[in-house]
Amino acid sequence: MTRQDSTYYIFCTGNGIAMWSSADRVHWKAEKPVFAAAPQWAVDAIPGFKGHIWAPDISFYNGLYYLFYSVSAFGKNTSAIGVATNTTLHTNDANYKWVDHGKVIQSVPGKTNWNAIDPNLITDKDGTPYLVFGSFWDGLKLVKLNKDRLSVAEDINKIPTIATRRKAAAENLPAVDGNPVDAGGNAIEAPLIFKHDKYFYLFASIDYCCKGPKSTYKMIIGRSKKLKGPYLDKEGIAMNKGGGSILLAGDANWYGVGHNGVSTFDGVDYIIFHGYDAADKGISKLRVEKLDWVDGWPVVGK
């Protein structure tokens, strides 16, 4: 979620990337999708891709809005992350036009033991842009971008894993619910890095989304004084060694909660995520909650 002038905008998984606008973060209006047709580069890169785009990430830099997005074949790491830019988010502005810059990074089965989905842009203290991303396989990855934020600036064969559910590198967690054997049960995805005071905080989602009443999605957290980590949880366990403190899990009202963003408006931090509503057949719904900070750790406000 972001805000331009007095209007809030949110971008979501959907055909062509779903876009919504709001004056109050409560009542939302559906805007036209970002893309009227599936980007041709994505159709060429992902067999069977028809335009359903996942997990967009919005940011603003040097006069441009940057929208990173994921294209993938479900359950496979046949995936790629692309990026589009716009000078404005106001759809009634004559200058409103998304310019697609195509592929930023791609994962290939048998060649990359990671999955190029769920991007989030984060800048280091010196302004250097990085992209954190990943889902299952080896876990969550961090890659440096060039200054224009449109391409990677390092060897993708050497990018580090900053979070995993594996406690040891050789551990192969068993696949469940029909997941690919090579992805295993390393059920971690949806990374987001947020700077607060002297720490970078790594948010991630573990276990399983998208299963309605059977969803087990939950959010975990770790922190580091350096963007590259290591990110330690409240017990001091590194997230790249299986660590991660639970931030929010399902309860009697929500079967599961996860894939969060964090945005700051008027000095207040908000956590934006989806939950599976137990009172409505497990349907996925948007939640926006205040994010408080207690003893250096985030707490989801009530």
The tens place of each residue's pLDDT in the chain, 302 residues long, gives 999 999 999 999 999 999 999 999 999 999 999 999 999 999 999 999 999 999 999 999 999 999 999 999 877 899 999 999 999 999 999 999 999 999 999 999 999 999 999 999 999 999 999 999 999 999 999 999 999 999 999 999 999 999 999 887 667 677 666 666 667 689 999 999 999 999 999 999 999 898 899 899 999 999 999 999 999 999 999 999 999 999 999 999 999 999 999 999 999 999 999 999 999 999 999 999 999 999 999 999 86
Query: What is the DSSP annotation of 36-100?
Result: SS--HHHHHHSTT--SEEEEEEEEEETTEEEEEEEEE-TTSS-EEEEEEEES---TTSTT---EE
Q: For the chain, how many residues are written?
A: 302
**85 in Cβ contact with 66 (< 8 Å):** yes
Count Cβ atoms within 10 A of the Cβ of residue 136 and give its class: 0-12 exposed, 13-18 middle, 19 or more buried: buried
End-to-end, the C-alpha distance of the chain in Å comes to 20
Look at residue 167 in the predicted model and tell me its pLDDT. Answer: 83
Domain at 2-186: CATH code? 2.115.10.20
Residue identified by tokens 């299986």 is 242
Give Cβ neighbours of residue 262 (< 8 Å, ≥ 6 apart): 192, 194, 203, 269, 270, 271, 272, 291
Cα angle 150, 131, 197; round to 5: 125
Q: What are phi and psi of 294, to 5 degrees?
A: -130, 120
Look at residue 185 in the predicted model and tell me its pLDDT. Answer: 83
- CA 125, 129, 133, 138: dihedral to nearest 10 degrees? -70
Give the max Cα distance, the chain: 55
* Domain ranges (residues) in the chain: 2-186
